[in-house]
Chain A
Amino acid sequence: MIDWTSWLDYGFMRYALIAVLIITPLFGLMGTMIVNKKMAYFSDALGHSALTGIAVGVVFGVQDTNLSMVVFAVIFALLLNKIGSMNTASTDTIISVFSSCSVAVGLAILSKGGNFSKYSSLLVGDILSITKAEIGYLAVIFVITILFWLFGYNALNAICIHKTLAKSEGIKVKVFENLFAVLVALIVMLSIKWVGILIINALLILPAASARNISVNMREYHLFSLVFAIFSGVLGLMVSYYTNVATGPMIVIIASVIYFATFLYGRNERNK
């Protein structure tokens, strides 16, 4: 018989659990807005920019690559917003251009001298890499995000429904959009090392998308998204520990199962 608590005997698993408990509610919350605003591709591009962030850090000899990643991602997000709002081409084209550029730069620098294998753990994530300091950063962001949500959610939602209308209501559209982008950038960057670049976006999108399948109002939408995010996070962490698979993918697999179940349920309900 398995001892279902033994995974908490290890320091790194306790850190991982704390990180999951902090990060998944954030993913759940931010996800609802990302799905509403149809920004899934945006957060994906942000995830990819982590590579460049690390590369930039390496070039400038920054010891803590977290720092260079975060700084780069924030600049990247603001720039994306800026150019996106200029309406020169459709948003997905612009995001795609940015995303591929940053990935190319990141890969070029990191693979110099054939050394890319060292960074390949970034792609799938490494749960052992969570440190105390990172949990500290996450906690700070957690508080900021909650505050932002409490005070800014209505404004953000209004912008999402109709930009011009929101502007006429006196809402500072630019400020809110930029703040939101920066928050997404911070959260993505600080969790990417253990979630992995390839799937971080799934974690951001899936809980919210599943919740959207079955929700009829904003309250339900948020509630379900939070529940799904935390549930898949904790269960994924446990299962990954006992089966010795990478944690990020396991969490995403569970979140995907939830998505398909809610999808089928939602479709049935609507057809009734």
Chain B
Amino acid sequence: MKNKYSFVLIMLLCILLGSVGLTTLYVAKEQAEEEEDFKIVTSFYPMYIAALNIVGDAENVSLQNLSEPQTGCLHDFQMTPKDMKLLSGADVFVINGGGIESFMEEVAETYPELAVVEACSEVEFLEEGIEDSFVAEDEELEASRTGHVHEHEHEENAHAWMSISSYRIMVATIAEQLASLDEAHAEDYILNAQIYDAKLQDLQEEQQELFAMTEGTNVILFHEAYAYVADEYGMNVCYELNLDEERQVSAGEIADVLEAVENDGVTYILAEELYGKEIGTTVEKESDVTVLYLDTLNRGDYEKDSYLNAMHNNIELLKQELIK
């Protein structure tokens, strides 16, 4: 009888100690860069790359990104406890702005003290693209039933990093604001931003070389992020289909796309490889339009030049298509 109770006690103690021990081991491994003076957290990939270039080799500054959403775009991103923890230790939170960070309300409520740098505060957003009635209807329904309004609906198109000129403004904004928040490293930030901006300028010039050839071309977009690309190249957007991870297209929409291709003499469709490939192949088969799979730069490797490289690839892709 007594035996049994002591068994239970010992068993529970063992499990407790075991889990505490294992957890300690695990956490110890995670806690490597706790000792930095100034902690910057970014909301997602393009912000991280921009901040990475601005921070450069500045000492005692740590830079971390929120956990990467599985789905690419931030719309349905859910903060994990780890993200909450990350933010609780942060000095600055760098966000894109324009409503893309749908969790900002929650963050502002939980951490009213946290300084927020909105990269797009100086950027003029494009209007939401051509109204896709199907999406709008669907989203209204969804909003009414879940109480969760899809952030796109009444917001501007916030995918400004897709345009190099806007991205340059964003980099400058982040650098300025970081400099004012962290005076110890202010010079580093401004200097690094200037170096990065020079590289971006080269990239932009490379892009502008194509302008004469692309201006006035009719295109269809499979993601609203490409509205910025189309804008920079002076392309006319005839139809926009907002494909992402949680939407499947209906046959009717494909018919609409094909009709737009037919009627407006569309030459290119700009699409994302991950979500647009299937429909892209279908449309290519049915008509003589070319689908260009451009990187939306919302994920990739965490290298300094990731933005430059990905953007360069996008430009190259278009250039080869134009020369053909």
Please give the residue numbers on chain A whose beta carbons come within 8 Å of chain B beta carbons, in ascending order: 1-2, 4, 9-13, 57-58, 61-63, 65, 113-115, 117-118, 121, 126-128, 214, 224, 227, 231, 235, 238-239, 241-244, 254, 257-258, 261-262, 265, 269
CB of B23 within 8 A of CB of A239, answer yes
CB of A10 within 8 A of CB of B88, answer yes
Interface: B2 (CB within 8 A): no
CB of B246 within 8 A of CB of A117, answer yes
Q: Which of B146-189 contact A (CB under 8 A)?
A: 146-147
Q: Which residues of B contact A257 (CB under 8 A)?
A: 15
Q: Which of B245-283 contact A (CB under 8 A)?
A: 245-248
Report the separation of the CA atoms of residues A128 and B248 in the bound assembly, to the nearest whole angstrom: 28
Report the separation of the CA atoms of residues A57 and B88 in the bound assembly, to the nearest whole angstrom: 36
CB of B80 within 8 A of CB of A242, answer no
Interface: B301 (CB within 8 A): no
Report the separation of the CA atoms of residues A61 and B144 in the bound assembly, to the nearest whole angstrom: 7
Report the separation of the CA atoms of residues A113 and B247 in the bound assembly, to the nearest whole angstrom: 6
Q: Which residues of B contact A128 (CB under 8 A)?
A: 78-81
Q: How far is the CB of A166 from chain B (nearest CB, A)?
A: 31
Q: Which residues of B contact A118 (CB under 8 A)?
A: 76, 246
A13-B81, A61-B145 as given contacts; A242 in contact with B246, CB under 8 Å: no
CB of B27 within 8 A of CB of A2, answer yes
Interface: B208 (CB within 8 A): no
Interface: B71 (CB within 8 A): yes
Quick one: which of A13, A114, A231, A269 contacts B246, CB cutoff 8 A? A114
A241-B81, A242-B27 as given contacts; A9 in contact with B88, CB under 8 Å: yes
Q: How far is the CB of A194 from chain B (nearest CB, A)?
A: 12
Q: How far is the CB of A130 from chain B (nearest CB, A)?
A: 12
CB of A262 within 8 A of CB of B11, answer yes
Interface: B213 (CB within 8 A): no
28 residue pairs of the A-B complex, CB under 8 angstroms, read A1-B24, A2-B23, A4-B20, A10-B110, A11-B110, A13-B81, A58-B145, A61-B144, A114-B248, A115-B142, A117-B245, A128-B79, A227-B12, A231-B15, A235-B15, A238-B19, A242-B26, A243-B23, A244-B81, A254-B19, A258-B12, A258-B15, A261-B11, A261-B15, A262-B11, A265-B4, A265-B11, A269-B4
Interface: B191 (CB within 8 A): no
Q: Which residues of A contact B79 (CB under 8 A)?
A: 128
A10-B84, A12-B84, A128-B78 as given contacts; A239 in contact with B27, CB under 8 Å: no
Q: Which of B123-154 contact A (CB under 8 A)?
A: 138, 142, 144-147
Interface: B82 (CB within 8 A): yes
Please give the residue numbers on chain B whose beta carbons come within 8 Å of chain A beta carbons, in ascending order: 4, 7-8, 11-12, 15-16, 19-20, 22-24, 26-28, 71, 76, 78-82, 84-85, 88, 110, 138, 142, 144-147, 245-248
CB of A239 within 8 A of CB of B19, answer yes
Quick one: which of B19, B26, B246 contacts A115, CB cutoff 8 A? B246
Quick one: which of A9, A121, A242, A262 contacts B23, CB cutoff 8 A? A242
CB of B8 within 8 A of CB of A214, answer yes
Report the separation of the CA atoms of residues A62 and B147 in the bound assembly, to the nearest whole angstrom: 9
CB of A227 within 8 A of CB of B145, answer no
Q: How far is the CB of B198 from chain A (nearest CB, A)?
A: 39
CB of A117 within 8 A of CB of B81, answer no
Given contacts A2-B23, A12-B81, A61-B145, list 13 more A-B pairs with CB under 8 A: A10-B110, A13-B81, A57-B145, A58-B146, A63-B145, A113-B247, A114-B246, A115-B142, A117-B246, A128-B80, A242-B23, A254-B19, A265-B11
Q: Which residues of B contact A11 (CB under 8 A)?
A: 110
Report the separation of the CA atoms of residues A113 and B144 in the bound assembly, to the nearest whole angstrom: 16
Report the separation of the CA atoms of residues A65 and B145 in the bound assembly, to the nearest whole angstrom: 9
Q: How far is the CB of B65 from chain A (nearest CB, A)?
A: 15
Q: How far is the CB of A98 from chain B (nearest CB, A)?
A: 25
Report the separation of the CA atoms of residues A57 and B248 in the bound assembly, to the nearest whole angstrom: 22
Q: How far is the CB of B20 from chain A (nearest CB, A)?
A: 8
Report the separation of the CA atoms of residues A224 and B5 in the bound assembly, to the nearest whole angstrom: 9
**CB closest residue in chain A, given B23:** A242
CB of B81 within 8 A of CB of A10, answer yes
Report the separation of the CA atoms of residues A75 and B252 in the bound assembly, to the nearest whole angstrom: 39
Most buried by A among B8, B71, B145: B8
CB of A127 within 8 A of CB of B4, answer no
Q: How far is the CB of B5 from chain A (nearest CB, A)?
A: 9
CB of A2 within 8 A of CB of B88, answer no
Q: How far is the CB of B140 from chain A (nearest CB, A)?
A: 11
